[in-house]
């Protein structure tokens, strides 16, 4: 463990109030990590609030503290603010200003595209999940991991490693998972809740999305779209969109999968990739971010325009991936 978790723990211990911000469209890693940190701070008598501009997706609403997550910025500004998995401040959505208004801003992230903002920056791209980094901070706080903290942290690790299926899974991930299971968390319960429990609306929406998918001529890029009309027809909720883009990537030969969702905030684009194609590079071209194999962004403008621009960026990325690596210098 580096010295940064201890510096962060010291700042948190001295704080009078803490605000913890999730990124927009939060996933299990971001929410689980934020809630685990909130619980750990409560154990040492520190008041902390968690905020998510897009609320809490249904699979994660059973996590301890999820029912108290803020969807509007707190007032007054917190003494210390923590940005969890936000590659830029803007990734916190409507909570960006709350981060900037804090006397001390802490940035904890494992995305390769982090901008390096904040007074304390714990940036570790070797971490499979930001939950691994938050576990380091919890240890530095000298807070024993109980069942509730373990449930949140294990949710973070399980979801960002795809139930330990993705290539980012490391021995560090597995050792931490074993510790969390020993503390009372259950891999089975998390997997069942996140991956194996779907609404009827979700399955109908999945059918509509798959029926409308389009492949490029060479079969390396696939995309589909979700419109409000499709949600209504399927009897689905916005949360039911989760997981669809990952299904697209399963098509044989596909290296980049794209999902375009029309929302009141703009066109939300989910990106999944494999075999060296970089999702985060495509997302960053439009102000978004993420991991190499999973990223996203939200764009303004007409759906057709966003689709065309994103496909062009995806094609450019595939062209780059096809280029031979430059020879190393002797």
- Each residue's pLDDT, cut to its tens digit, for the chain (330 residues) gives 579 999 999 999 999 999 999 998 899 999 999 999 999 999 999 999 999 999 999 899 999 999 999 999 988 899 999 999 998 999 999 999 999 999 999 999 998 888 999 999 999 999 999 999 999 999 999 999 999 999 999 999 999 998 998 889 999 999 999 999 999 999 999 999 998 888 899 999 999 999 999 999 999 999 999 999 999 999 999 888 988 999 999 999 999 999 999 999 899 999 999 988 999 999 999 988 888 888 899 999 999 999 999 999 999 999 988 776 555 444
**Does 329 fall in a domain?**
no
Q: Are strands 221-226 and 120-123 parallel, antiparallel or unpaired?
A: unpaired
End-to-end CA distance of the chain: 33
Q: Specify whether 84 is located in the same domain as 218.
A: no
pTM score of the predicted model: 0.86
Cα 65 to the chain's mean position, in Å?
A: 18
Q: How far is CA 328 from the centre of its chain?
A: 34
CA-closest candidate to residue 140, choices 118, 98, 108, 95: 108
| Nearest Cα to Cα of residue 280 among 260, 265, 295 | 295
- Compute the distance between CA of residue 33 and CA of residue 84 in angstroms, rounded to an integer: 8
Mark whether 184 and 37 lie in a shared domain.
yes
Q: Classify residue 302: in a domain, yes or no.
A: yes
CA 96/CA 112 separation, integer angstroms: 20
In a shared domain, residues 164 and 229: no
Cα 255 to chain center, whole Å?
21
12 alpha carbon, distance to own chain's centre: 23
Same domain, 277 and 304: yes
The verdict on 9 and 57 lying in the same domain is: yes
pLDDT the model gives residue 1: 58
- Domain assignment present for 301: yes
**How many whole angstroms separate alpha carbon 20 and alpha carbon 328?**
43
Would strands 47-51 and 17-21 be described as parallel, antiparallel, or unpaired? parallel
Q: How far is CA 33 from CA 43, 192, 226, 241, 266, in A?
A: 15, 19, 29, 22, 27
Pick from 20, 16, 10, 3: nearest CA to 105: 20
For residue 326, the model assigns a pLDDT of 54
Provide the CATH number for the domain around residue 93.
3.90.1640.10
Task: Give per-residue burial for 13-28: e unless 16+ CB within 10 Å, then b.
Answer: eebebbbbbbbbbbbb
310 inside domain: yes
The rounded distance, in Å, linking the Cα atoms of 248 and 69 is 31
Number of domains observed in the structure of the chain: 2
Of 195, 221, 248, the position where a domain reaches its end is 195
DSSP state at residue 54: T
Same domain, 173 and 218: no
Q: Are residues 245 and 106 in the same domain?
A: no
* Residues 16, 48: Cα–Cα separation, whole Å: 9
Check whether residue 147 and residue 191 sit in a common domain.
yes
Q: Which residue intervals of 106-198 are DSSP H helices?
A: 130-140, 147-160, 171-182, 187-195
| Tokens found for residue 329 | 């210098």
Domain-located, residue 74: yes
Q: Are residues 83 and 26 in the same domain?
A: yes
Q: Which of 154, 180, 195 is the last residue of a domain?
A: 195
Question: 290 in a domain, yes or no?
Answer: yes
- Give yes or no: residues 173 and 262 share one domain: no
User: How high is the pLDDT of residue 204?
Assistant: 96
Which CATH number covers residue 255? 3.10.310.30
- Expressed as residue numbers, the domain containing 186 is 4-195
CB of 234 closer than 8 Å to CB of 204: yes
Lookup: tokens for 264: 């009141």
139 lies in some domain: yes
Residue 303 in domain: yes
Residue where a domain terminates, one of 127, 161, 195: 195
Residues 140 and 8 in one domain: yes
Same domain, 216 and 155: no
Alpha helices (H) in the chain, listed in sequence order: 4-14, 28-43, 96-101, 130-140, 147-160, 171-182, 187-195, 200-211, 228-234, 244-248, 279-284, 303-322
Q: Give the pair of three-digit tokens for residue 176.
A: 């931490």
């Amino acid at each position: 463990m580096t010295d940064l978790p201890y510096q962060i723990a010291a700042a948190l211990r001295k704080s009078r109030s803490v605000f913890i911000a999730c990124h927009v469209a939060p996933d299990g890693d971001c929410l689980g990590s934020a809630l685990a940190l909130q619980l750990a701070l409560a154990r040492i008598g520190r008041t902390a609030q968690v905020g998510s501009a897009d609320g809490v997706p249904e699979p994660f609403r059973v996590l301890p503290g999820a029912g108290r997550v803020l969807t509007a910025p707190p007032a007054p500004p917190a003494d210390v603010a923590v940005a969890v998995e936000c590659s830029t401040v803007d990734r916190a959505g409507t909570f960006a200003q709350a981060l900037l208004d804090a006397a001390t801003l802490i940035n904890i992230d494992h995305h390769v595209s982090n901008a390096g903002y904040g007074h304390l920056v714990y940036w570790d791209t070797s971490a499979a999940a930001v939950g691994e980094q938050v576990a380091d901070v919890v240890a530095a706080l000298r807070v024993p991991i109980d069942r509730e903290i373990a449930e949140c942290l294990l949710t973070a690790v399980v979801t960002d490693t795809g139930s330990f299926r993705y290539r980012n899974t490391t021995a560090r991930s597995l050792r931490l998972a074993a510790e969390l299971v020993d503390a009372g968390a259950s891999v089975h319960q998390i997997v069942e809740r996140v991956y194996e429990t779907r609404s009827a609306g979700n399955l109908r929406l999945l059918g509509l999305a798959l029926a409308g998918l389009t492949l490029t001529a060479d079969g390396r890029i696939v995309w589909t779209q979700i419109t409000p009309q499709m949600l209504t027809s399927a009897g689905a909720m916005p949360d039911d969109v989760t997981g669809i883009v990952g299904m697209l990537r399963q098509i044989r030969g596909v290296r980049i999968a794209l999902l375009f969702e029309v929302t009141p905030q703009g066109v939300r684009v989910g990106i999944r990739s494999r075999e060296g194609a970089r999702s985060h590079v495509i997302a960053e071209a439009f102000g978004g971010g993420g991991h190499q194999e999973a990223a996203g962004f939200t764009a303004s403008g007409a759906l057709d325009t966003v689709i065309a621009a994103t496909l062009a960026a995806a094609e450019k990325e595939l062209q780059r991936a096809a280029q031979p690596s430059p020879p190393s210098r002797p």
